[in-house]
Amino acid sequence: MCLGIPGKIVEITSSENKLALVDVGGVKREVNIICIVDEEHPPESCLGDWVLIHVGFAMTRINEEEAARTLELLQELGEVQEEFQTRKNSEKENP
């Protein structure tokens, strides 16, 4: 019920009614962007933004920096694990 799907805004279809066309994995559909526009972000400025879509509404603008940061943390965790594993293996081989 609470699921959302990422899509990219490819066209502002009605600035007045806050409607935009989003591309979700190659499929285009119209969504309401009222939840992501304000004085700082007028409808026109939303073109090209990645948004999370839920029941026909763009509910939030996806934060690219934060996404990259999460992936970076995951990467670091992986590296720590590799180091840990290498150390464990070397301890086994050189008791």
Q: How far is CA 29 from the centre of its chain?
A: 18
> Closer CB to other proteins, residue 65 or residue 93?
65
> Do 28 and 22 meet the contact criterion of CB atoms below 8 Å apart?
yes
Does residue 21 belong to the site contacting other proteins (CB under 8 A)?
Answer: no
Give the phi and the psi of residue 8 in degrees, each rounded to 5.
Answer: -110, 130
Among 69, 86, 87, 89, binds other proteins (CB under 8 A): 69
Does residue 16 belong to the site contacting other proteins (CB under 8 A)?
Answer: no
> Closer CB to other proteins, residue 45 or residue 70?
70
Task: Look at residues 78, 28, 73 and name the one whose alpha carbon lies nearest to residue 53.
Answer: 28
Binding mask 28-57 for other proteins (x = CB under 8 A): ----x-xxxxx-----------x-x-xxxx
